[in-house]
Amino acid sequence: MSLDHALVLGITKSGKSTLLHWLAKLHHARGDGVLILDPRRDHGWPNDPTRVRFARDAEHVLDLAKRSQRCALFIDESARMLGRDARFDWLTTESRHQGHVAYLSALRATMVLPSLRAQCARAFVFRQSLSDARELADQFAEPRLIEAASLPRHQFIEVESCGGARRRMLTLPR
């Protein structure tokens, strides 16, 4: 499992939160702490009060992350939750020295502050507008990302800055 920070992008209802829940469960299963900032407090997150914490707001997630080690940080709807405050850059810069990995979801990459976005070497890209897909293809130097404009619901392309692109669909357990 790669431990680079990641963006999770896609139009509404494309499957971003569901993917975050699944990734949180993977991190939890490998023994990591899990810190969550989710405005909706969805039910799909791993349930373990000893290693899974919900933050009230962006200040709180920053404070919890600074006081912990080796956590996966999940910021759902990150553009709304983090706003444009540069203090939260810490979540993708110094946080690495404490062994954290951050997952930031947003409808579009451009909604995430460039300073945060630049630290994300991975992306999980659900359906995007053609112009957003082109921009992402450019950012990740991966022409296949243009296909994000025609992805069906719940399918995504996983891309790494120094790797290729893989198209995947998450199948939920019944």
Among 3, 4, 18, 90, binds ligand ATP (CB under 6 A): 18
**SS3 of 101, please?**
strand
Q: Does 127 bind ligand ATP (CB under 6 A)?
A: no
Report if residue 26 touches ligand ATP, rule: CB under 6 A.
no
Order of strands across the sheet that contains 122-125: 52-54, 33-37, 71-75, 101-106, 6-9, 122-125, 155-160, 165-169
Of 14-22, 62-70, 112-120, 158-166, the segment contacting ligand ATP by CB under 6 A is 14-22
Q: If binding is defined by CB under 5 A, does position 95 make contact with Mg ion?
A: no
Q: What is the smallest separation between the CB atom of 97 and Mg ion, expressed in angstroms? A: 29
Alpha-carbon distance values, 36 to 30, 33, 108, 173 (Å): 17, 10, 20, 22
Count the residues in the chain.
174
State which of residues 89, 154, 163, 167 lies at the interface with ligand ATP (CB under 6 A): 154
Stretch that binds ligand ATP, among 15-23, 52-60, 84-92, 134-142 (CB under 6 A): 15-23
In this complex, which beta carbon is closest to ligand ATP, that of residue 86 or of residue 169? 169
Structure tokens at 37: 């900032």
- Residue 75: closest CA among 104, 46, 43: 104
Site residues (vs Mg ion, CB under 5 A)? 16-17
Site residues (vs ligand ATP, CB under 6 A)? 10, 12-18, 154, 170, 172
